[in-house]
Amino acid sequence: MAELILERNERLTLRAQAHHLAPMVLLGAQGFTDAVIKEIDRALKHHGLIKVHVPSDDREERMEIYHTVAEKLNAARIQMIGKMLVFYRPQEDDAAEATAKAATQKLVLGAKADPGARGARKPVDPKAKTKKAPAKPAVDKKGKKIVIKARPKHKRLTKKAALA
């Protein structure tokens, strides 16, 4: 199988999601065996995004494990920090879920495009003038018009004017 290649933005979002995860697979004293590969495959099928802890101090060995797992299991390499490896493989039901989500979104967008749809707003014509109701004059209890006068503008006193 070939390794799954993701775009940068996808990798960054998956890296952020993986930050809070605990390691799913821990390599033991036996090291990198077929049982470990099966366990990583099972975890990828179930979770999609996993962390693997490799206790080896040899950097080249960790890099080899990182590349081998991605290649054998058709997974994407997301991140390798120290002894922690992060892998991603989309789950099989994700593809069906994404198709269903796209169909639902299409239905919603279709409803919004229809001006008669419930909850949809009609497009506003910017050239059309809106009619406003004439303002009612303020009246007191006796029926007299109340004249509201604007307050005079307060003039600020500058330092220069104060000293003069």
pLDDT digits (tens, 9 = 90+) for 120-163: 566 666 666 666 666 676 777 777 887 777 777 777 788 888 88
Domains and CATH numbers, the chain: 8-92 (3.30.110.60)
* Beta strands, E only, 7-163: 25-26, 49-53, 76-81, 84-88
pLDDT digits (tens, 9 = 90+) for 63-80: 999 999 999 999 999 999
Residue of 41, 67, 51 whose CA lies nearest to 15: 51
Decide: helix, strand or coil at residue 16: helix
**pTM exceeds cut of 0.85:** no
- What are φ and ψ of residue 63, in 5° steps? -65, -40
Q: Give the amino acid at 10.
A: E
pLDDT digits (tens, 9 = 90+) for 29-76: 888 999 999 999 999 999 999 999 999 899 999 999 999 999 999 999
Q: What is the pLDDT of residue 149?
A: 75
Residue of 57, 60, 59, 49 whose CA lies nearest to 25: 49
Q: What is the pLDDT of residue 55?
A: 92
Contact by Cβ (8 Å): 76, 11? yes
Integer Cα distance of 41 and 50 in angstroms: 10
Task: List own/partner pairs for 159-164 with CB under 8 A and 24 or more apart.
Answer: none
**Cβ neighbours of residue 17 under 8 Å, at least 6 residues apart?**
49
